[in-house]
Amino acid sequence: MITQNSSKSKNIILFTIAIDSRDLILAQNLDWVRGMAGIFKEVHVFALRLEGNIVLPKNVHLFCIGGQSRLLKALQAIRTYGKLRDVLRHSDAIVLYHMMTWPILLFGMYFKIRHCKQGVWYSHNYADFSLRSTQFLVDKYFSPTIKTFPLFNKSKLVTTGHSINFTDFPRYKEKLGNWQLNDIYYIGRIAPVKRLELLIEALSEISYNRRIAVTFKIVGPTQDSSYLRTLFEKATDAGIQMSVMDPLRRAQLIPFLKNVKFAFSGTPASVDKSILEACGSGAIPITDNSEVLELTGMHLVWKEFTFSQPPSIQQQIDFLIGSNPRTLLRISAQVQESTRLQNDFEKTLRRVKKELS
């Protein structure tokens, strides 16, 4: 846990999408802000949305920059300039843009003139105009891995792993039940880019060759109902059991992960935070995503079991079905420790402070 101390001298200005305790995904931003409050003298947060029950340390200051109409957005931009001037009048600060890049277009030059170091935390395979056109203003970029950062020029890139607060997540030794591959979970939004059909196809091939009873359990919001129908049709045709649950809030997700022993990720070009949260809670990943395999340490597990290259999804499932509970428990412990070590949010925040100081 990052704790406050008297040696804090730097201030930080954070631009982020939302500070919202009720949001299924963005509630994690509260962890970032609380962590920053422990290592920075003052934390000035500029967010598009402030909602929910927000309880933060006294050295955190919130400012809403959102607006519905163009006129309101223009007025908010003017107000934001005034607020930034007030913040920098009293002391210097470093600036971090967290998964939003358009503020660089509006305020980046002002910070450059004020000699404020600017950093961008970004984990997405698409580079928008704001990200591509403001590289001369940004001092450092932060991303989980090289492949999760979309700009061709990576000279300013600092790789940090994902940034997750694992404090409240379960340890593998707390997991219940026998270690057998009965259920495979996917946690996240249901959309074609997630390639969920890959798991159904792999299970179909395995069940064709031998009798298995594995259920594919999906937990998350449906963004494409026609895609979900297609998944159910494929599963039915293949004789694969599949179920869908509504998305879980963070308070529900943490205890839920105690029972998740195997987690799937089909995302090809980025790393979903949900798979890392599951692995940090002791789940074994099933994926062909090299970045997920690296950030969970599972690539080393496969080498340990004499796979020179990570096996296919079908081969992974075959191996895990044939493994005894003692082996699976050992893999779970190894994956969990590696995931937590590589993706710890406190380490990321300290790295951001060091690189921009």
CA distance 130 to 100: 9
In a domain, 165, yes or no: no
From 159, 194, 221, give the residue that closes a domain. 159
Taking only the tens place, the pLDDT of each residue in 152-182 is 888 999 999 998 999 888 876 555 456 778 8
From 159, 181, 198, give the residue that closes a domain. 159
In a domain, 181, yes or no: yes
Looking at the structure, tell me whether residues 190 and 102 fall in a common domain: no
In a domain, 218, yes or no: yes
Whole-Å CA distances, 319 to 282, 303, 312: 18, 13, 10
How many C-alpha atoms does 233 have within 13 Å on its Cβ side?
6
**Any residues with CB less than 8 A from the CB of 112 and at least 6 apart, and which?**
118, 137
For the chain, list the strands marked E by DSSP. 11-20, 42-51, 60-64, 94-98, 118-121, 140-143, 157-159, 183-187, 215-219, 241-245, 262-265, 284-287
Looking at the structure, tell me whether residues 185 and 139 fall in a common domain: no
- Taking alpha carbons only, the member of 263, 253, 231, 261 closest to residue 244 is 231
Looking at the structure, tell me whether residues 18 and 148 fall in a common domain: yes
Strand 157-159 with 60-64, pairing = unpaired
* Whole-number pLDDT of residue 73: 66
* Whole-number pLDDT of residue 51: 86
* Whole-number pLDDT of residue 211: 63
Looking at the structure, tell me whether residues 143 and 227 fall in a common domain: no
Q: What is the CATH number of the domain that holds 146?
A: 3.40.50.2000
* Whole-number pLDDT of residue 123: 86
Identify whether the C-beta of residue 292 lies closer than 8 Å to the C-beta of residue 268.
no
User: Count H helices, E strands: the chain?
Assistant: 13, 12
In a domain, 352, yes or no: no
In a domain, 164, yes or no: no
Whole-Å CA distances, 159 to 98, 156, 165: 15, 10, 17
Looking at the structure, tell me whether residues 88 and 66 fall in a common domain: yes
In a domain, 48, yes or no: yes
Whole-Å CA distances, 330 to 79, 185, 283, 326, 333: 55, 20, 11, 6, 5
* Whole-number pLDDT of residue 192: 95
DSSP string, 280-292: HTTPEEEE--HHH
* Whole-number pLDDT of residue 1: 54
Looking at the structure, tell me whether residues 153 and 26 fall in a common domain: yes
Looking at the structure, tell me whether residues 197 and 318 fall in a common domain: yes
In a domain, 347, yes or no: no
In a domain, 304, yes or no: yes
* Whole-number pLDDT of residue 284: 96
What total of structural domains would you count in the chain? 2
Looking at the structure, tell me whether residues 192 and 338 fall in a common domain: yes
What is the extent of the structural domain holding 139?
11-159
DSSP 8-state secondary structure symbol assigned to residue 210: S
**Any residues with CB less than 8 A from the CB of 155 and at least 6 apart, and which?**
none
From 159, 182, 199, give the residue that closes a domain. 159
Identify whether the C-beta of residue 157 lies closer than 8 Å to the C-beta of residue 146.
yes
Looking at the structure, tell me whether residues 322 and 210 fall in a common domain: yes
What is the identity of the amino acid at 310?
A: P
What is the identity of the amino acid at 55?
A: V
Spans of the chain, pLDDT less than 50: 4-6, 176
Looking at the structure, tell me whether residues 312 and 202 fall in a common domain: yes
Looking at the structure, tell me whether residues 182 and 150 fall in a common domain: no
CB atoms within 10 A of CB 84: 21
**Any residues with CB less than 8 A from the CB of 110 and at least 6 apart, and which?**
81, 84
CA distance 18 to 47: 5
* Whole-number pLDDT of residue 6: 43
Looking at the structure, tell me whether residues 290 and 243 fall in a common domain: yes
